[in-house]
A and B are shown apart, each in its own frame.
Chain A
Amino acid sequence: MNLFRLLGDLSHLASIFILIHKIQTTRSCRGISFQTQALYVTVFVARYIDLFFRWISLYNFFMKIFFIASSVYILYLMKYRYRPTHDPSIDTFKVEYLVGPAVVLSLIFNYKFEFTEILWTFSIYLEAVAILPQLFMLQRTGEAETITTHYLAALGAYRALYIPNWIYRYFTEDVVDPIAIVAGLVQTGLYLDFFYVYFTKVLQGQKFELPA
């Protein structure tokens, strides 16, 4: 564990708390892509299936439990509790275009052709692009509530912070994980446009609005 990874994980935790807070205080999941949230459940379940056979640490254990539980809870909030506030007509990204390639890529590019190893690889590839339905929705509506942009910023910061973590691990532990690194770079890259608007508008006190 190093500081970058810890800050990344805390940022990830914060993003989830921000999202739950947004849904509960506004009593609405307006502006949140159900598809992206469903993809995150898929990602966490596929990756953290190793809770059953791999012990890393108490920290790792509780974080995994938290990520699975909170992502399922968010789906519940969206699907049942605040269902009327979700508008499927603007959440129309075709998730099969993400899940399909992630399955194929994980079957080709993996460290070992084993079921749980392929599930791990699949979860890494899928996570890299899971934010796309959300960003697509943002693009479509052209605006977002400020709290939603804080959620996205914290989520983007999480993967961005993993990059210095990998550089640090390369020099201190001689560990290189090419699959995680390539996917992580792609994932962080997807946030660049968003970050630009977030820093130049939201953090200057303006509303998040995309140019028409």
Chain B
Amino acid sequence: DGNVIAHDEL
């Protein structure tokens, strides 16, 4: 999903 931030941080 291109326009949503990946949420790869804790």
Contacts and interface: CB of A to CB of B under 8 A. Distances in A.
B9 A111 contact: no
B3 to A, nearest CB: 7
Interface SS of A by simple majority: helix
A9 B4 CA distance: 23
Contacts of A67: 10
Contact of B9 (A5, A54, A117): A5
A92 interface: no
Chain B interface residue number, banded: under 10
A202 interface: no
Given A60-B10, A111-B5, A179-B5, 19 more contacts: A5-B9, A12-B10, A50-B7, A54-B7, A56-B8, A63-B10, A64-B10, A111-B3, A111-B4, A112-B1, A112-B3, A117-B4, A120-B7, A162-B9, A175-B5, A175-B6, A177-B5, A177-B9, A180-B9
Interface of B: 1, 3-10
28 contacts: A5-B9, A9-B10, A12-B10, A50-B7, A54-B7, A56-B8, A60-B8, A60-B10, A63-B10, A64-B10, A67-B10, A111-B3, A111-B4, A111-B5, A112-B1, A112-B3, A112-B4, A117-B4, A120-B7, A162-B9, A165-B9, A175-B5, A175-B6, A177-B5, A177-B9, A179-B5, A180-B5, A180-B9
